[in-house]
């Protein structure tokens, strides 16, 4: 229901395909250039939709407008700041893309997980700390991550995530549950600090 409502609002075809989302400042620090460099082969081969919301560097804003013109049935570039639309995108999306070049903390990946949108992240800083990469052998994970900061590596991880969405809905729902039940509150963090300090005092 959330997905169809967003598709209707943004003029995308109303169908059940993986819906990918970006809500970000459109800057190189956020990995937007890497994402742009990764997309063409991916969009040509995959039946997906991508919604981008944000503002930033003029050249990157224009690049997204160009992508929307090239893939009008797949890409929507909302070059604006809109908190209500952001909440709707979090709720409707299946995958949340956050390939930051560096990220000291990051909040968007945690908000996405709260909504059950699984993040695909570059494993740096706060993204490494908060997103547990999917393990196909144990079923553990709250998202997907990659280390090597290259378009072909990011594209491969996107393909892995999309294929899992399509072909293993039971595992997908399990990952969503694990993501949605993550505890990022200070009570848990404080207990971890306390445990660390007690070990150091021994």
**Helix (H, G, I), strand (E, B), or coil: what is residue 4?**
helix
Cβ-in-10-Å burial (0-12, 13-18, 19+) of 156 comes to middle
Please check whether residue 176 is in contact with residue 134, taking contact to mean a CB–CB distance below 8 angstroms. no
The string of DSSP letters for 145-179 reads: EE-S-SHHHHHHHHHHHHHHHHH-HHHHHHHHHHH
Q: Which pair of structure tokens corresponds to residue 90? A: 């979090």
Report the pLDDT value the prediction gives residue 108, as an integer from 0 to 100: 92
Report the pLDDT value the prediction gives residue 105, as an integer from 0 to 100: 82
Report the pLDDT value the prediction gives residue 190, as an integer from 0 to 100: 47
Report the pLDDT value the prediction gives residue 185, as an integer from 0 to 100: 56
Q: What span, in angstroms and rounded, lies between the C-alpha atoms of 44 and 47?
A: 8
Report the pLDDT value the prediction gives residue 195, as an integer from 0 to 100: 59
Q: What span, in angstroms and rounded, lies between the C-alpha atoms of 151 and 144?
A: 15
Please check whether residue 98 is in contact with residue 106, taking contact to mean a CB–CB distance below 8 angstroms. yes
C-beta contacts of 36-39 below 8 A and 24+ residues apart: 36/60, 36/63, 36/64, 36/67, 37/151, 38/151, 38/152, 38/154, 38/155, 38/158, 39/67
The string of DSSP letters for 38-55 reads: HHHHHHHH---EEEEE--
Short-list 23, 25, 20, 2, CA closest to 154? 20
Whole-prediction pTM value?
Answer: 0.89
Report the pLDDT value the prediction gives residue 106, as an integer from 0 to 100: 81
Report the pLDDT value the prediction gives residue 201, as an integer from 0 to 100: 67
Residue 2 — φ and ψ, nearest 5°?
Answer: -60, -40
The residues facing 121 across adjacent strands are 98, 145
Give helix then strand counts, H and E, for the chain: 9, 6
- Tens place of pLDDT per residue across the chain (202 aa): 789 999 999 999 999 999 999 999 999 999 999 999 999 999 999 999 999 999 999 999 999 999 999 999 999 999 999 999 999 999 999 999 999 999 888 889 999 999 999 999 999 999 999 999 999 999 999 999 999 999 999 999 999 999 999 999 999 999 999 999 987 654 555 455 555 666 666 6
Report the pLDDT value the prediction gives residue 103, as an integer from 0 to 100: 85
């Amino acid at each position: 229901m959330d997905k169809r409502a967003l598709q209707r609002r943004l003029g995308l075809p109303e169908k059940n395909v993986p819906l990918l989302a970006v809500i970000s400042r459109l800057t190189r620090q956020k990995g937007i250039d890497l994402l742009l460099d990764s997309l063409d082969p991916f969009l040509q081969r995959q039946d997906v939709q991508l919604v981008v919301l944000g503002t930033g560097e003029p050249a990157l804003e224009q690049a997204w407008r160009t992508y929307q013109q090239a893939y009008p049935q797949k890409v929507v570039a909302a070059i604006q700041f809109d908190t209500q639309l952001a909440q709707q995108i979090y709720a409707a999306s299946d995958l949340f893309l956050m390939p930051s070049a560096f990220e000291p903390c990051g909040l968007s990946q945690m908000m996405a997980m709260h909504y059950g949108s699984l993040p695909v992240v570059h494993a740096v800083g706060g993204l490494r700390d908060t997103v547990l990469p999917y393990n196909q052998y144990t079923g553990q994970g709250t998202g997907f991550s990659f280390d090597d900061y290259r378009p072909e590596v990011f594209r491969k991880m996107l393909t892995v995530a999309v294929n899992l969405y399509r072909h293993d809905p039971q595992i997908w729902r399990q990952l969503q549950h694990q993501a949605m039940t993550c505890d990022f509150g200070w009570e848990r963090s404080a207990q971890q600090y306390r445990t660390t300090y007690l070990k150091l005092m021994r």
